[in-house]
Structure 1
């Protein structure tokens, strides 16, 4: 009798496990989202000033080139999961006076790269150097937001001869303090192997929308169309594996000693209500880089260039014109 009961329990447990497995597989099949061909994404999101340049090893960089070709150059570098479109407000404000170049890093936007591309910050910085050489750019200002800010200050260390100015917008790089708030749910998921597998294949709209709304003060800015763009562009062939690899990429954190080596005139812009990278990091950057100017926006979060493009672009313009005097 005891053996019969145990046998029935084992069979019952097996059925439950099988049902759970079927439900999980069915859910995965329903939520699975295939890659979107580049041709389709380019037709939807490229703009009249879009261009493409091959840098070898399967990397074809998409960039936008706006403004007067003879004007001073500023290169804009987006953050994690973002693209050249994050700079739309700055392009509008700055292109009457500058040649504004925005590029998509490998794994982002409309840039093509092998799925095995290693997205290390130093490698991104060297890619921008190769990109500048390919376009034969004169010395330029570089501005970067979030991850792109981390790439920008590393670029200033590795290729200072190319720069006239450095602008850090809620830049990445400092190790998070012990009392920092927990990261967004999407970032937590990406820190596990199973989570990375899921995010490489399934619908990420809910997590993306949640993360983007946490990045801004005025959540009405995060429209369905805005989320569509983020989600769809990340489904370009090869992008999702590269995005997941960002979280395992080798990157030495910023230190006061390292940043003190930057001699490029520097402007630090930050949203006071940034819950992803604390405003304390803004002060750390400004203190570490000799002569850096700091501007904090009380009514902005992690994306000041998107939340308040007119004011933040105006501050950049004033800073660059001040250097030219």
Structure 2
């Protein structure tokens, strides 16, 4: 008797990455071939948010999609050489950028595209500013110049149930998204380590601040795209527009019918919004190479 076994396309494995003399065991999944597309999850979550992207035939026929769990998230455990239980977890901008750049280098991702959402979205313009030309393009989903006010003890407090985080995240999803997508998004949030969501918001809400420096981003070296969901009240479309307005050459695309977690709450609608952006990036001249040729 022959049994048919169904598998996803994505393949997962662990990579050892050393940052600031500390070795991290990092879980990642990848699928497809072509231009490397590195995708960063939101605060307090993990790479499962991108599982639909990893399976899309059109995207994976053109892009090598790589999704990971940031250290301390999902299947990427805390490092063995650090007494992490004796210190507060706070994600810093410096570490965050070094991690993404180091991961890209370790996986041989040349002329790659970076895309992230929420804290990952805010990292997109930070990478364009601090690592010009490292990525051919960065895509900021739910991104803003500055996202103050979210680094709160409320997110890690003995009197607050761990159910509070997924409930709050549910309110950030689109009311028009399929219920199964909204529930899956919050299900993943319910599994995060209690201090990690608050610690991620240290980068998102304290260190990320491009109000005075966004104008220094050179889109001739790294193309910048900004997309914010219609129903995202944490980083509104107006905030995305304000970010794009400060970056000469940045492009902004609307995401109607979507909230703060477009890739997981309503993948079908997200694909309608993101594919034109990805095809434009695929078909465009790499900014850094074009600049080098001109010189």
For residues 249 and 185 of structure 2, the distance between their equivalents in structure 1, rounded to whole angstroms, comes to 37
Residue matched to 2:12? 50
**1:121 aligned residue:** 93
| In 2: Cα distance, 1:225 partner to 1:170 partner | 19
1:147, distance to aligned residue in structure 2 (A): 0.4
Q: Which runs of 5+ in 2 are unaligned?
A: 1-7, 287-295
The answer to whether the Cα contact below 8 Å between 2:69 and 2:76 also exists between their aligned partners in 1 is yes
- Secondary structure of the equivalent of 2:207? coil
- The structure with the larger Rg is 1
Asked whether the equivalents of residues 118 and 143 of structure 2 are also in contact (C-alpha less than 8 Å), the reply is yes
Matched, 1:63 2:63: no
**Aligned-partner SS, 1:198:** coil
Indicate if the aligned counterparts of 1:74 and 1:143 stay in contact, CA closer than 8 A: yes
TM-score when normalising by structure 1: 0.70
| Distance in 1, Cα, partners of 2:78 & 2:27 | 11
Residue of structure 2 in register with 1:155 after alignment: 127
Per-residue CA deviations over 1:69-94 (Å, capped at 9, x if unaligned) read xx111111111122212122322331
CA distance 1:223–1:137, change in 2 (3 Å) = closer
Question: Out of 147, 158, 171, which is 1:198 matched to?
Answer: 158
Task: Determine helix, strand or coil for the equivalent of 2:136.
Answer: strand
Instruction: Tell me what 2:52 maps to.
Output: 89
CA contact (8 A) 2:25 2:77 kept: yes
Secondary structure of residue in 2 paired with 1:163: coil
Unaligned runs of 5+ in 1: 1-45, 177-182
Matched, 1:275 2:233: yes
Q: 2:218 corresponds to which residue? A: 262
Matches for 1:168-179 after TM superposition, within 5 Å:
168-176=140-148
Which one of the candidate residues 195, 198, 220 is aligned to 1:241? 195
SS in 2 for 1:160: coil
- Is structure 2 residue 43 aligned with structure 1 residue 80? yes
TM-score (ref. length: structure 2)? 0.77
2:278 matches 1:313: no
| 1-structure distance, mates of 2:124, 2:271 | 22
Length, aligned pairs only: 259
Q: Give the Å deviation of 1:272.
A: 1.9
Provide the rounded CA distance (Å) in 2 between the counterparts of 1:48 and 1:305. Answer: 16
- For the aligned residue pairs, the C-alpha RMSD in angstroms reads 2.7
* Partner residue in 1 for 2:187: 228
Note the alpha carbon deviations across 1:223-251, whole angstroms, 9 max, x for none: 5554333212x13xxxx333332344550
